[in-house]
Amino acid sequence: MIEFWLCALALVITVLNVVSMRVVGLKDAAAVAESVDILIPMRNEEANVEACLKAVLNSELLESSQVYVLDDASTDTTAKLISDFKVKAISGTALPDGWLGKNWACHNLAAAGRGEYLVFMDADVRLHPYAISAAITKMKALDWDFISPYPKQLAGTFIEKLIQPLLQWSWIASVPLRIAEKYPNRSMTIANGQFLIIKREAYEKSGGHAAIANEVLEDLELARLLITKQFKGGVAEGSSVASCRMYTNSGELISGYTKSLWKAFGGTAGTIAAIFLLALTGLLPYLGFGAPVLFIFLSRVLSAIKTKSNPGYAFLHPIAILLLLYLIVLSSVRKSRGVLQWRGRAIS
């Protein structure tokens, strides 16, 4: 019986979010007079440099903007490719004790300019020319200090098609976003560092990346930090203005998720609770194919339609949950053995 009510609740929250969640769309775009720093860390990103920077440099309606790109000790041709573009190229420095690589890179990127708005983005993100102006315009309309327009998540391989749709569905089905806006707290804060915009004043007053130097989920922890310091903001549906293909093969996906899933639920107790809930709502109902299965299926379909992904992936939900459970356990095991790595660096 408990799985019935949990799955029903997931559907109710999904419907509420699909109807009421904030959206950053092309129609929101308007001229931005304030100065904007676009900050992109890159480490061995030779496959993404050209497409990423061409898109960013094609941004429109920004009256004063500068693109900063940090080459983080790449061993491929990333640095050379960056030099072909009219951007402010920065060479990464040695990683200090107590810092993770991306956090240190973002910290240095933020310090490089003086823009009133900081646009953090990953190299695998592709922006529409109106993406940044639309997001900042939406921030102004909402009187927010930060906004996280969630890009459309692209999936090519079968394993990506299983896992990537769970990214957005997981919070669309579990966090009532408008309630989280009205009563902000750490537990209901959502953010994605793929495309994250913060007012410089809020970033600096909160402590920025220096305050979360060793956090593996740096995007989420930065948003939580901002909320804790009484700054306003949140996540928005951004599939019309941005897209991202995080991984291109199973090895990259497994490494990417295992590097951080051990921390995603707060600790050992949270991880055990998450495993229990995922099994209870994502596996057990499929043994009987009753109403809970329909609730979850509809939740997945509505989430997919809202985020412009393929609703057909909803049929794969129990297989996706099995794979996610495996990744959670694998991440925890690798963390306990001290063998977690990402892009050639150990994660302590």
3-class DSSP state for residue 238?
coil
Q: Residue 161: pLDDT above 80?
A: yes
Predicted confidence at residue 342, as pLDDT, reads: 83
The residue ranges of DSSP E strands in the chain, in sequence order, are: 32-42, 62-71, 88-91, 117-121, 125-127, 146-150, 152-153, 195-199, 233-237, 242-244, 341-342, 345-346
| 313 and 202 part of one domain | no
According to DSSP, the β-strands at 242-244 and 125-127 are antiparallel
Q: Residue 348: pLDDT above 80?
A: no
| β-sheet bridge partners, residue 71 | 42, 91
Cβ-contact 33, 64 below 8 angstroms: yes
Predicted confidence at residue 347, as pLDDT, reads: 84
**Max CA-CA distance within the chain?**
61
| 29 and 52 part of one domain | yes
pLDDT digits (tens, 9 = 90+) for 66-81: 999 999 999 999 999 9
Cβ-contact 161, 313 below 8 angstroms: yes
Query: To which residue do tokens 């327009």 refer?
Result: 149
CATH code of 104's domain: 3.90.550.10
Q: What sign has the CA pseudo-torsion 181, 265, 110, 23?
A: negative
| 125 and 223 part of one domain | yes
| β-sheet bridge partners, residue 117 | 36, 199
> Which of 244, 279, 305 is the endpoint of a domain?
244
Structure tokens at 322: 């099995």
Percentage of the chain beyond pLDDT 90 is 94
Predicted confidence at residue 1, as pLDDT, reads: 81
| 78 and 8 part of one domain | no
* Residues whose CB falls within 8 Å of the CB of residue 288, separated by 6 or more in sequence, listed in order: none
Structure tokens at 100: 């993770």
Predicted confidence at residue 343, as pLDDT, reads: 85
pLDDT, average across residues 277-288: 93
| 13 and 47 part of one domain | no
Predicted confidence at residue 229, as pLDDT, reads: 97
Sheet with 242-244, side-by-side order of all strands: 125-127, 242-244, 152-153
> Which of 209, 244, 279 is the endpoint of a domain?
244
Predicted confidence at residue 43, as pLDDT, reads: 97
DSSP secondary structure of 83-147: TTSSSEEEE--PPPTT--HHHHHHHHHHHH---SEEEEE-TTEEE-TTHHHHHHHHHHHHT-SEE
Q: Residue 6: pLDDT above 90?
A: yes
| β-sheet bridge partners, residue 237 | 23, 150
| 323 and 174 part of one domain | no
Closest C-alpha to 308, from 247, 248, 244, 254: 244
Which range, of 108-117, 206-215, 336-345, averages the lowest pLDDT?
Answer: 336-345
Q: How many domains does the chain have?
A: 2
126: left (phi over 0), alpha (psi -120 to 50) or beta: beta
- Inter-CA distances, 59 with 40, 53, 218, Å: 14, 10, 26
pLDDT digits (tens, 9 = 90+) for 143-157: 999 999 999 999 999
DSSP letter for 95, please.
P
Which range, of 12-26, 121-135, 233-247, 280-294, averages the lowest pLDDT?
Answer: 280-294
Please, what is the average pLDDT of the chain? 96
- Inter-CA distances, 193 with 39, 112, 293, 331, Å: 11, 19, 32, 20
Query: To which residue do tokens 């996706």 refer?
Result: 320
pLDDT digits (tens, 9 = 90+) for 215-254: 999 999 999 999 999 999 999 999 999 999 999 999 999 9
| 236 and 282 part of one domain | no
Cβ-contact 188, 180 below 8 angstroms: yes
> Which of 244, 269, 287 is the endpoint of a domain?
244
pLDDT category of residue 168 using cuts at 50, 70 and 90 = very high
pLDDT, average across residues 257-272: 91
| 10 and 35 part of one domain | no
Percentage of the chain beyond pLDDT 70 is 100
Q: Which domain holds residue 173?
A: 21-244
